[in-house]
Structure 1
Amino acid sequence: MHLSFLIHNAYGIGGTIRTTFNLASALAERHDVEIVSVFRHRDEPILAPGGDVRLRHLVDLRKDTPGYEGDDPEQERPATVFPAAEGRYKQYSALTDRRIAAHLRSLDCDVVIGTRPGLNVHIAQQARRGPVRVGQEHLTLSTHSAPLKRTLRTVYPRLDAVTTVTEADAATYRKLMRLPGVRVEAVPNSVPAPAVAPADGTGKWVVAAGRLAPAKRYDLLIRAFEKVVAQRPDWRLRIYGAGAERAKLRAQIDKRGLYNHVFLMGPANPLDPEWVKGSVAAVTSSLESFGMTIVEAMRCGLPVVSTDCPHGPGEIIDSGVDGLLVPTGKVDAIADGLLRLINDDELRKRMGREALARSERFDPARIAGRYESLFADLVARGALRGSLHRTRGALLSNAFRTKDAGRSALRRGRAA
């Protein structure tokens, strides 16, 4: 099959970019795969896709290059196709409307896959007839605003399929969106095996990673770790990531006197070498659309103590086997979960081995196989539908010809 992904900006860094590149690289081992980035703002991508995946762009935002289009007059005019309720709306314009439309009209492929709601709207409205149209949901339906949900409910029936990263979100789509004829499937994100040896469970480090954003609730993790330090001052916490909460978290660490135990490490890429320095991973989010960092830590051999927040963690962690799920927002529960693994070397190491083994189900080859089956079914369904349309058209045409021939014979009989 020829598969074409449409992504916001493949030259940045983020979960959607990582998982799209992972999936595309795995699919490229058996299929012809391209990634089309709406924007390009640097010469080379930070997270380059592997294999034979082709990468191209529609709008060039690289300043001081011959192709720079940041000052194109159409950039000043608002987008009318990309939905105004979508979070990235301000970055889109009449220029992106035109470029995306031209791309989708000319696209010759078997399957076109959008990777965010605004791009899925473009695909639903503008992709030419022929390719299977798939819209991926990398967040959750519940996080979208009411106006955006109304837009998706109106437009998504033109898609062939919507994929979510959790079964819980797929159930929400089926219940609330009313998408007759649209296949809704849950396919988790993929995470490749790390290129480093897994953690051995002896390092006295708890590791967390992700955006320093309110939803990650690192303030709770710091408070919980204060309780950990009271019992086990030989253990320390590293938090990797960047974001608006950094100064606030830094002040919290200093105020609680944890500057020798809790460290804000900044972003790291790749993160695998940092995971394996630790023995326990921590996730304290109030909401996760999936939980990429959970899988990344497990693939490095770390058991994860995670809040049982909506969607992702409960579908990844088998609590008590390869990690621990604790109540969301409860400092004491987070601290107790961490201490349970910190104080029991054998339990920690056993859960780490289980995490390593069970996380193989998220390997890109396995996830690509699930997508491959979905795409093949949709392509076959489209071919069957096209064949039925052609057969129906031929039958109607024959019927009209027969009817016309009968009318002509009747007219000739009357004339005689």
Structure 2
Amino acid sequence: MVKLLYITNGIHGSGGLERVLSIKASYLAEHYNYDITILSLNDLKEPFYQFSPKIKFVSIDVSGNPLAYFLKYKRGIRDIIKSFKPDIISVCDDGLKGFILPQILKSKPPIIYERHASVSLNFNTANKGFFQKLKNKFTYFLMRWAATKFDKFVVLTNGNLKEWKDGNLEVIPNPLSFYPKELLQKTKLPKTILAVGSHSYNKGYDLLLQSWKKVNEQFPDWKLMIYGKKNPECKLVELSNQLRISSSVTFNDPIPNIEEAYAKAAMLVLPSRSEGFGMVLIEAMAYGLPCISYDCPHGPGDIITNGEDGYLIENGNVDEFANRIIGLIQNPENLLQIGVKARRNVKRYLPEHIVDQWDKLFKTLLV
């Protein structure tokens, strides 16, 4: 039995990383008989998503000033490794601290880094001052160097390969969360467009609202439903009021059974400025929804075949984004045909295909 330790920030959040970890770890425990422990930080809450009962959870306290934080982080992880004695470690942390683990673990089993986001997530791309650019370049240099110290550095898309040095890289995409065997027949096309993801600059909801203004002018009876953790600093409610579209836009909290929202929508839109993968794309496609996404770095371009099972829009082009939404609304037959192709094409991300790649990678490193 392979003993696998996952190290992550937390499992109580509603993001894509947490969802993917719940699917992947549970599948390895249930179908491949892995002995799995998940180590998280300051995480005493219940998981947002469901995990296999075979999985064990531990949490370490890393509060305090930066020095105290680092020392607790280092000591806590070393203690867990000493107690659990894993055969392999997989780091799921898109922050900077996860990169230092090969340096702080003196003697260790093979260690993998799972990169769930584009590099731009670590940088404030809205700030283009000279010193911020210099800091970003230096940080990126350190990240690329640190990435080479892992036994394997796993990214989600072929586009992500461009962000890192060659050598220990491997591409393994995310697995599907669900794939309904049958879809309920919709007697008429729902006049609802869906977006899913936490509020942040990176997710591009400010761009989406600008596009939606143009859509709303032509189709005032259509609704935009946004599900995701809210962030008042993004001022999205204020922006929707300024654009005079607030009556057609609803900001919802995240829900664990997001598939209910997919079942009630006509299409999904992803306005992100960058993505590690785009988990919501494959979930929506499983429900037969055409997806419109910016061709951002780097996930959507690997998932969507432009014009066949969805549309890729020039990154940041709000007018073209709006026009594609309008085009699908005006042509319901084309919308449905694209949705059928999307549902068929997304089968390549079923867990039995993706988790098998992880099993083979782990066992290769253990030889």
Question: Matches of 2:294 and 2:148 in 1, distance apart?
Answer: 35
Aligned to 1:55: 57
Q: How does 1:11-160 map to 2 (within 5 A)?
A: 11-28=12-29, 29-50=31-52, 52-59=54-61, 75-76=64-65, 78-79=67-68, 92-116=69-93, 117-126=96-105, 128-129=107-108, 131-144=109-122, 145-160=136-151
1:373 paired residue number: 360
Seen in structure 2, the aligned counterparts of structure 1 residues 128 and 261 have a Cα distance that, compared at 3 Å, is same
The answer to whether the 8 A contact 2:295-2:313 is kept is yes
> In the TM superposition, what is the alpha-carbon distance from 1:311 to its structure 2 partner?
0.5
Contact 2:121 2:274 in 1 (8 A): no
Deviation by residue 1:12-64 (Cα, 9 ceiling, x = unmatched): 332222111111111111132313223244352222312522222233x9xxx
Query: Is 1:162 paired with 2:140?
Result: no
Moved over 6 A (4+): none
Shift of 1:255: 2.9
Quick one: structure 1 residues 231 and 140, their matched pair in 2 at CA, closer, same or farther if it must change by over 3 Å? closer
CA RMSD of aligned residues (A): 2.5
Secondary structure at 1:113 match in 2: strand
Distance in 2 of aligned mates of 1:200 and 1:322: 19
Cα 1:339–1:282 shift into 2, 3 Å: same
- Deviation per residue, 1:207-266 (Å, 9 max, x gap): 111112122222222222222223223322111123325772222222333233222223
- Give 1:8's aligned residue: 9
Which piece of structure 1 moves more, 136-145 or 312-321? Answer: 136-145
Q: TM-score, normalised by structure 1?
A: 0.76
Deviation, 1:127, is 5.9
Matched, 1:292 2:279: yes
Equivalent residue runs for 1:124-273 within 5 Å = 124-126=103-105, 128-129=107-108, 131-144=109-122, 145-174=136-165, 182-194=167-179, 198=183, 200=185, 202-245=189-232, 248-273=235-260
Task: Using the TM superposition, give the Cα deviation of residue 197 of structure 1 relative to its aligned residue in structure 2, in angstroms.
Answer: 5.5
Q: 1:106 Cα shift?
A: 4.5
How far the C-alpha of 1:123 sits from its partner, in A, is 4.1
Distance in 1 separating the partners of 2:105 and 2:288? 44
2:49–2:256 contact (8 Å) kept in structure 1: no
CA contact 1:190–1:363 (8 Å) conserved in 2: yes
Q: Deviations over 1:349-370 (max 9, x none)?
A: 1111111121122222211011
| 8 A Cα contact 1:114 1:123, kept in partner | no
Identity %: 26
Q: Distance in 1 between matches of 2:83 and 2:148?
A: 22
Residues 294-339 of structure 1, C-alpha deviations (whole Å, 9 max, x = no match)? 1221122211011111201111101111111111211210111101
* 1:303 aligns with one of 290, 299, 302: 290
Q: Which runs of 5+ in 1 are unaligned?
A: 62-69, 80-91, 176-181, 381-416
- Give SS of 2:67's match: coil
Task: Give, in whole Å, the separation in 2 of the partners of 1:264 and 1:153.
Answer: 37
* TM-score between both structures, scaled by the size of structure 2: 0.86
- Contact 1:6 1:36 (8 Å CA) reproduced: yes
Using the TM superposition, give the Cα deviation of residue 77 of structure 1 relative to its aligned residue in structure 2, in angstroms. Answer: 6.4
Deviation by residue 1:138-164 (Cα, 9 ceiling, x = unmatched)? 123354444443444454443211101
Query: 1:392-403 alignment to 2 at 5 Å?
Result: none
Partners of 2:180 and 2:110 lie apart in 1 by 35
CA distance in 2 between partners of 1:41 and 1:183 (Å): 31
Alpha-carbon displacement from aligned partner over 1:265-290 (angstroms, at most 9, x marks no partner): 23222211012110111111111121
Report Cα offsets for 1:77-122 as digits up to 9, x if no partner: 615xxxxxxxxxxxx3422221112223444232211112523422
Residue in 2 that maps onto 1:325: 312
Q: Retained in 2: the 8 A contact 1:208–1:239? A: yes
AA of the residue aligned to 2:89: V
- Larger-gyration structure (1/2): 1
Question: Any idea what SS the aligned residue of 2:26 has?
Answer: helix
Cα gap change, 1:306/1:200 in structure 2, threshold over 3 Å: closer, same or farther? farther
Q: Which protein, 1 or 2, shows the higher relative CO under an 8 Å CA cutoff with sep ≥ 6?
A: 2
Code of the aligned partner of 1:94: L
